[in-house]
Amino acid sequence: MIGEAVYDAASEEDVTKFKQLLHQDPYLVERVSYPCLRNLLHVATLRGQVAIVEEVLKISPGLARFSDSQKSSPLHIAVEEGNLEIARRLLSVAPEMCWWRDGQGLNPVHVAAMKGHVEILEKLLEEDPSPVMERVHRGQTVLHLCVKHRQLRALKFLVDKLGDLVCAKDDDGETLLHWAARTKQVEMVKYLVESNKVEKESKNSMGRTAVGILKERHDDSEGIISIISPPKAMSWHKTNPKLLEYLSKKREQTMVVMTLIATMAFQAAVSPPGGVWQEDTSSHRAGEAVIATTHPKIYKHLVRANTTAFVSSLITIFLVAVPFPIGLGALFVFTTYVMWVSMAAIAVSYGGSVLVSAPNTQTRSLTGIVNVVLAVSLGFFGIKLVRNIVMMCCRRLFGSRFVDDDLTYLRVRVFQTLNSILCGLLTPDP
């Protein structure tokens, strides 16, 4: 009967009646118990009666260290209810309760984060910052709890306080961004991405990133995906995997050709046609090219052509080997033209070498050879230009698939025809 009277006084915050009852029996506070193993301090805290809590703590401060059947201390209850004043009074009596865990394995800091009570979080961290580092089920941190329970304000507060804990993963290898993406919290994702404190490409134990989790859901997640991984400018080569494979093969072929031309140009420089003088005389020195004396004009053009071939091949190798922040298509076109220059220059160098070493060519010049090289190069470029124009027109008129199939058929017919002609020429008449 007296227990019910004390309960009513504590629930209604009737301090006068509560004091009268305690005056009649000073040990009443410790003897009275309620369902779920709760004492009078649990009841007053749950009801938010600050004055009653103060009176109970004056008489029996040890009640603050008792837990109910759910292993919840009075501080757990005060934090869950968001009562900062009661939490302060309990901490002043039993600060070690910051470490205590309830039946779910949560300490008061975890509970405050889940409920989003930032003011209480601040008070708890002032009292003892260490419990905030404690992990809960499956290695989740207090920040994971903020994300799971959609407490953005509490997350922002704790992120500013905890630093490296922001990048922590749970036992499944999932970061805060994984959880925010999984629960489709747009504002939470935006904050984590803009803060630049969480690695966007981090993978969980299943090898999935936050974007990968969203793509697997097959629902309206494009908005969140664009926040995590903003769409980049689409370059033309990325839209065609076959073209990308073609350019990759051309890259390898270009490297081989340019390496060969560079080797040829280097060899022609150190071992010029006609050799070098072996001894010093009044007109030359040992080691100088013989053709520099016998054919000075041709030698001058030969050195220029050889240098052009060597330098252009080195430039091409450098462009192909070293990645640049430009489009692969633009790089391919540029290196193609540089490769043509290198090939034309090495052809001129070859022609000059032939003029020097072949008999009865003393009166000839490189002009004819240069004209031939230019004519062949321009002819190839002209044919390629016409082909590209025809292909572009045909694709617009008939579609790319039809044209590609038709060209394949045409190539097969051309090879079959050439093969028949050659067989006819090589086969003797009966």
Name which of 142, 197, 204 is nearest 171 in CA terms: 204
For position 339, what pLDDT does the model report? 79
In a domain, 278, yes or no: yes
Which pLDDT belongs to residue 361? 54
The confidence score (pLDDT) of residue 355 equals 73
pLDDT at 297: 77
- Look at the chain and count its residues: 430
Which pLDDT score is estimated for 89?
Answer: 94
Query: H helices of 84-209, where?
Result: 84-93, 108-115, 118-127, 142-148, 152-162, 176-182, 186-195
418 belongs to a structural domain: no
* Listed residues 76, 106, 134: the one ending a domain: 134
pTM higher than 0.85: no
Amino acid at 279: E
Same domain, yes or no: 65 and 91: yes
HSE-CB for 86 with a 13 A CA cutoff = 27
Which helix (H) or strand (E) is 400 found in, with range?
Answer: helix 400-426
Q: Are both 226 and 244 inside the same structural domain?
A: no
222 and 256 inside one domain: no
User: Do residue 55 and residue 129 come from a single domain?
Assistant: yes
Q: What angle do CA 237, 239, 244 make, to 5 degrees?
A: 45
pLDDT for res 430: 45
Instruction: Indicate if 244 and 363 belong to the same structural domain.
Output: yes
pLDDT tens, per residue, the chain with 430 residues: 566 777 677 666 677 777 777 767 766 676 677 777 788 888 889 888 888 888 888 888 888 998 988 899 999 999 999 999 999 999 999 999 999 999 999 999 999 999 999 999 999 999 998 999 999 999 999 999 999 999 999 999 998 888 778 889 999 999 999 999 888 888 999 998 888 888 888 889 888 888 888 887 766 676 777 788 776 544 444 445 666 666 677 777 778 888 888 888 888 777 877 777 777 776 777 877 777 777 777 777 778 888 888 888 888 888 777 655 555 556 667 777 777 788 878 877 777 777 767 655 554 566 666 676 667 667 766 776 777 677 677 666 655 444 444 445 455 555 556 556 545 544 444 4
Looking at the structure, tell me whether residues 9 and 116 fall in a common domain: yes
What does the pLDDT look like over 330-387, one tens digit per residue? 666 777 777 778 887 887 777 777 776 765 555 456 666 667 666 766 776 677 677 7
Q: Tell me what pLDDT residue 152 has.
A: 93
Domain that holds residue 348: 236-374
Is residue 422 one of the residues assigned to a domain? no
| Mean pLDDT score of the chain | 78
249 and 217 housed in the same domain? no
What is d(CA 299, CA 274) in angstroms, rounded to the nearest whole number?
11
Give per-residue pLDDT as tens, 382-403.
Answer: 776 777 677 677 666 655 444 4
Any domain includes 428: no
Helix, strand, coil percentages, rounded to 5, for the chain? 70, 0, 30
- What residues pair up with 38 in beta bridges, in sequence order? 34
Residue ending a domain, choose from 100, 134, 168: 134
What's the confidence (pLDDT) of residue 419? 55
Q: Is position 390 within any domain?
A: no
Please check whether residues 365 and 247 belong to one and the same domain: yes
pLDDT at 238: 47
pLDDT for 21-75, tens place per residue?
A: 776 776 667 667 777 778 888 888 988 888 888 888 888 888 899 898 889 999 9
Could you give the 3-state DSSP secondary structure of residue 46? helix
C-alpha–C-alpha distance, residues 49 and 43, integer Å: 9
* Structural domain ending residue among the three candidates 208, 231, 254: 231
Residue 300 is predicted with a pLDDT of 79
